[in-house]
Each structure stands twice: as C-alpha cells, then as structure tokens.
Amino acid sequence: MMNSVKTCKLCGDTFRTKHPDTITVCGKKHTVICVICGTEFIASEYSDTKTCSRSCRGKYVVKSGIQNNINKARMQDPSKFDNFVEFKSDPAKYILDNFGTSRPNTYTLSKNIGIDIAIVCNYVNKVNAQKSCHIL
C-alpha cells in the first residue's frame, strides 16, 4: 500500500502514513495542554488526545456532549440522566459518593443510574474502576 503524506495536527510537520484516515499526528512526542485542567503532558505517539488523564477524559466527554445524546436514548430510566452524567464523568468517585466503600454490584448501579448493566460495565472497565464495584 502507498504511504500518504499528511500534516501533523499537533506540530504541523508533514509525515507519511499508511493509515491517513485514522492517523492524524506524527510519531514524535508532543507536549499538549489538557483542555480540562490545563496540565502540560506528553501525548503518546500517534495520538491527538486532548486530556491528561482518564478522569479529565471523562469530564471532556461529558462537556463536549459527545455521548450524551447517544446514551440518553438508550437509558432505561431517562429521569436519572443527571446521575448517569455524574457517573460517566468519574465512575469511581460517583460510587464512593453514593455508596461509600460498600462496593455495589453492577445491577444496583444500573438501577441507580437508569442504564443497562452492559453500559455500566463498559464505563467501569473503561476507567479501570473495577475495584469500586462488583461486576456481575
């Protein structure tokens, strides 16, 4: 396959890639400023991440509303949307705030947040919050 020439989204250098549709930054290390907390961090290679950590990433997703629309429609109980948004932004903190250290299971969480157990598990796994709850 032919390499395509692309311009790096972060530093503006041109580089070659076999995957022009998915790769948008060059392979150099870039210092980036987190859009949520302002911390400077080194972006990993070939990544145009905008946030420094998983917890900032969660906040960014909520703030940018990327997933809100998709998931509100899929909620079992849309009246619990605020709980869900809070949970989504930081599952471990949400669990601690609402259940203390009692480690609820994902069924209890799914009732509390009004979403499917599978989606609860998704978020828990995504941020490695498995220690905060029991996955059923």
Contacts with Zn ion by CB under 5 A lie at 8, 10-11, 13, 26, 28, 34, 36-37, 39, 52, 56
Query: From the CB of 15, what's the least distance to Zn ion, in Å?
Result: 7
Query: From the CB of 68, what's the least distance to Zn ion, in Å?
Result: 20
Which CB, 119 or 129, lies closer to Zn ion?
A: 129
Rounded Cα distance between 10 and 29, Å, is: 10
- Contacts for 104 with CB less than 8 Å, ≥ 6 apart: 95, 112, 133, 134
Rounded Cα distance between 125 and 133, Å, is: 11
Residue written as token pair 């909620």 = 75
Which CB, 37 or 61, lies closer to Zn ion?
A: 37
Query: From the CB of 41, what's the least distance to Zn ion, in Å?
Result: 7
Which CB, 37 or 121, lies closer to Zn ion?
A: 37
Which CB, 129 or 133, lies closer to Zn ion?
A: 129
The helix (run of H) or strand (run of E) holding residue 6 is strand 4-7
